[in-house]
Structure 1
Amino acid sequence: MQETYKGNKQILFLSTLAFFVSVMVWFNMAPFNSTIMEQLGLTKEEVGVLMLVNLALAIPARIVMGQLVDRFGPKKVFSLLLVVMSIPCFTFALANSYWQLLISRLLLGIIGASFVVGIRMIAEWFPQNKSGFMHGIYAGWGNFGSALASFTLPLIALWVGEENGWRYAIAMTGVISLIYGFIYYRSVEDAPPMKEFKRSKSAKGMKATSFVDLIILVAAYFPIYGGLAVLIWSLQRTSLLTLEWAIGLYVLLGVLYMHRAVKIALENRAYLMTEIPIPEKYSMKQVAVLSLAYFSAFGAELAVISMLPMFFQETYALGSIGAGMIASSFAFTNLIARPAGGWMSDQFGRKKVLMILLFLLSILYFGMSFLSGHWPLALAVLLTMSCSMVGQAASGSVFSMVPFIKKNNTGQIAGMVGAYGNIGSVCFLAVLNLMYPAAFFSVIGAGAFLCFIFSCFIKEPSLHALERQKVSRGA
């Protein structure tokens, strides 16, 4: 028993570190937005598009990664992802044109799907009564990689002391990702000893267990394509795409969505005509509501992390190092807040905790909309950290519920919920490209309040539901 617990802790540490490295690579551009804009002669709108594309492909990638991890296991998927994603990291560091930066950043967004892989790994290695807390540790400490990037990469660039210091700093994160991919593969297993890893029979998408759930599932895929449409609109708005190309891509996205909808309907039609065993049933409405809650909580965090260094530079006339250090406080709270959100959900009720946190989050983001250079810097940092604390705790609360929906589809459900986090970030950054930061924060606050209302429809996981999952796993 003691050896098993030791193995659990080792898996938690190694998986959290893998996600930490992924996030560090994912957000290694944020501290250098102003530097890259100045050296390569970019406009503020072009930098905004780079921030947007950095998040875009994580949307479909999280769906696909969820399917792959349920089919092939987190060990192989996480390791391969870390190794492959080092390549666009290197090409970004070497880029000399805007298109090279754009394509590299677009591909790097795929590494944001790494979050989904670890969710399935942690779910396999820890019991249900510790699910929220352990997933909170994984996500909270893993997301701290963005804070490390904001805090340390400018120092590394300064230490190099050349105008290309930012290139060396970003390339270094690619080297770390490449090396750790091999370390992770040699150090972990998909499930504890004497426990079978329940794989999906194929890498196909989720199945609905009622006709109402089928409608919800088809509708849930629409924002995924909508998030990509926002990206196309942003590219067209900054003249990187002509109107004709944009219209053609909109049509293509529409066709792809219709194809996906028809495919889901055909795959589920025969399945729904059979008698579905009780252990196989789960609520798609639960998935949809949690997805919207994550859209608001984590989507806002990603968007704010991307813009906060530049925001503090412009609002308080700070240098890149000072702004990066202050902005890192937004992600620093991950270390405590996300595990705390999971722990509170385990102890005091998942639905109640999530509703309270979403309501508080809406108030705090409305408060952020009033930030200006007239505020004392210390007060601005305090409000920023408070906003991050509550948002991260809400994200932890969301994923404290995900593993309880359907065990052997945890990866796919986490992929859907996680994708909505990226959809939220893309949508919020698109708002930022259209409006001033004050309106940007107000929109996030309004979204959090709407999700607070939606969270009323969440059902608290019952003991009966947990027992049903045990039966389905053969426990």
Structure 2
Amino acid sequence: MTTAAAGAPQAAVQRGAGSNLALATAAFALTFWAWNLIGPLSKTYADRLDLDPTQVSVLVAFPVLVGAVGRIPAGILTDKLGGRVMLTASCFIAIVPVLLVGLSGDSYPALLVSGFLLGVAGTSFAVGIPFVNGWYPPAKRGFATGIFGAGMGGTALSAFFTPRLVAWLGLLATHLVMCAALAVMGFVVWAFARNAPQWRASTEPALPRLKAVMKLKVTWQMSLLYAIAFGGFVAFSTYLPTMLVAEYGLAQTDAGLRTAGFSLAAVIARPAGGILSDKVGPLKVCLTSFFGAAAMAVVLALEPPLEVPAGTSFVLMALFLGLGTGGVFALVAELVDPARVGGVTGIVGAAGGLGGYFPPLIMGANYQANGDYTIGLLLLAATALLVGLFTVKAFRNVPRPGGPAAPEPADPVSRLLLANERGRAGIRLKTEEPARCAT
């Protein structure tokens, strides 16, 4: 098992933490750009291959599938091999599907296959979370995971630059440039990134480790929350260009610019969500995210005019979802033993990716059937509202950061009853948790 040296928990930020956090964030941003190469070019493919809205939504959603499911083995392998090896591998392995996508622009089946494989680039998230967690003490992990999570701004870079690069260089040349960038990033990470000093490779076999993580109630609770927060962000960042072109008649480059703004707002909000979680508690941050996103989905379902009402609502939606992505992983860091963060992150990250897989399919089918996105947006509103209510109930006993801990009862029977109640909420007794360790 991945353990720190015996003794007191890590209390201070370690030397080298900032540079490793920056490298991980940069690698995450670039691989996320690669992961989102197809979405910003949806109109190009639709025009070139004469695709209907459902075919476009399937094409856009396909990379999300592998990027989601692949996070489970990626998280477990990170506990075993370390973040440095896995981040480097993520960059180099992503080169192959990026090249295949560039070569497949004239064939819809080939695009589906290469887009499916492109999902490998999206697994880097499950690598980076345990990697940066190992460099920071518990009180700073909301900040660390929030800053790292800002790497999802790679979707903003893709939305803004990819259509323009294709216009300037052509489809294949754009993908070759991305291949070169991934290769450079892989070499940089290998040369300069380091695992946290106290990191030790997990010696547990992968399958029993996965089974153990899957038995944790908190794993599935966090998965539900992240499926809405991050899944909503992924769904909008990949499908929004298509939605803006179809609903508002924008050109592909204009839709990409607005999608970049959406992604940038979420990117700014994610570290803010982590930092706020350290100050006011992740529960409040998550509730703000879910209820706020529900309200914005209702507004957007009314099909407001583009510039001020719709544009403002999209930005606020991005801010709420970004806050939620930061808040959920601050909650993970609070409730999960660090030795299991990699495995839990893999499953939770997979749930977030899958949360982003289905909405584009629903939106595409909805638009093809009705000519608008109203039903899909109302379904998002209802789902976010229900998950917010679930969060209130499931995590009502999470302590507020900086607040006094509730006194533990002295008699064994009362302690057992309290432990049982906390266990139902997915919360560990602080007095019973093992010495903190780094992953």
Please give the TM-score of this superposition, normalised by the length of structure 1: 0.78
Q: In the alignment, which residue of structure 2 is the partner of 1:30?
A: 39
The AA in structure 1 aligned to 2:124 is S
- Give me the whole-angstrom Cα distance separating, in 1, the residues matched to 2:65 and 2:211: 26
Q: In the alignment, which residue of structure 2 is the partner of 1:349?
A: 281
Q: In the alignment, which residue of structure 2 is the partner of 1:446?
A: 382
Q: In the alignment, which residue of structure 1 is the partner of 2:365?
A: 434
The AA in structure 2 aligned to 1:82 is C
In the TM superposition, residue 470 of structure 1 has moved relative to its aligned partner by: 5.7
Q: In the alignment, which residue of structure 1 is the partner of 2:194?
A: 189
Deviations 1:200-256 (A, max 9, x none): 4222254677xxxx9xx47xxxxxxxxxxxxxxxxxxxxxxxxxxxxxxxxxxxxxx
Q: In the alignment, which residue of structure 2 is the partner of 1:387?
A: 317
The AA in structure 2 aligned to 1:393 is L
Q: In the alignment, which residue of structure 1 is the partner of 2:133?
A: 123
Contact kept, 8 Å, 1:83 with 1:179, in 2: the verdict is no
In the TM superposition, residue 469 of structure 1 has moved relative to its aligned partner by: 4.8
Structure 1: runs of 5 or more not aligned: 219-283
The AA in structure 2 aligned to 1:67 is I
* 2:70 match: secondary structure: helix
Deviations 1:252-271 (A, max 9, x none): xxxxxxxxxxxxxxxxxxxx
Alignment of 1:72-471 (within 5 A): 72-95=81-104, 96-140=106-150, 142-160=151-169, 165-192=170-197, 195-197=198-200, 199-206=202-209, 217=214, 284-372=216-304, 375-404=305-334, 405-436=336-367, 437-455=373-391, 456-458=393-395, 459-460=397-398, 465=429, 469=433, 471=435
Number of residue pairs matched by the alignment: 393
Contact kept, 8 Å, 1:78 with 1:117, in 2: the verdict is yes
- Give me the whole-angstrom Cα distance separating, in 2, the residues matched to 1:467 and 1:135: 25
The AA in structure 1 aligned to 2:283 is K
Q: Summarize the Cα distance change of 1:116–1:466 in structure 2 as closer, same or farther, 3 Å threshold.
A: farther
In the TM superposition, residue 472 of structure 1 has moved relative to its aligned partner by: 5.2
The AA in structure 2 aligned to 1:424 is G
Please give the TM-score of this superposition, normalised by the length of structure 2: 0.84
In the TM superposition, residue 423 of structure 1 has moved relative to its aligned partner by: 1.6
In the TM superposition, residue 185 of structure 1 has moved relative to its aligned partner by: 1.2
- Give me the whole-angstrom Cα distance separating, in 2, the residues matched to 1:330 and 1:205: 40
CA RMSD of aligned residues (A): 2.3
* 2:134 match: secondary structure: helix
- Give me the whole-angstrom Cα distance separating, in 2, the residues matched to 1:311 and 1:175: 31
Contact kept, 8 Å, 1:354 with 1:397, in 2: the verdict is yes
Contact kept, 8 Å, 1:190 with 1:197, in 2: the verdict is no
- Give me the whole-angstrom Cα distance separating, in 2, the residues matched to 1:320 and 1:134: 35
In the TM superposition, residue 434 of structure 1 has moved relative to its aligned partner by: 2.5
In the TM superposition, residue 175 of structure 1 has moved relative to its aligned partner by: 2.0
Contact kept, 8 Å, 2:13 with 2:137, in 1: the verdict is no
Structure 2: runs of 5 or more not aligned: 1-11, 368-372, 406-427
Deviations 1:415-434 (A, max 9, x none): 11111111211222232132
Q: Summarize the Cα distance change of 1:349–1:106 in structure 2 as closer, same or farther, 3 Å threshold.
A: same
The AA in structure 2 aligned to 1:285 is K
Deviations 1:347-394 (A, max 9, x none): 01222322232112211122221225xx14132111101000011101
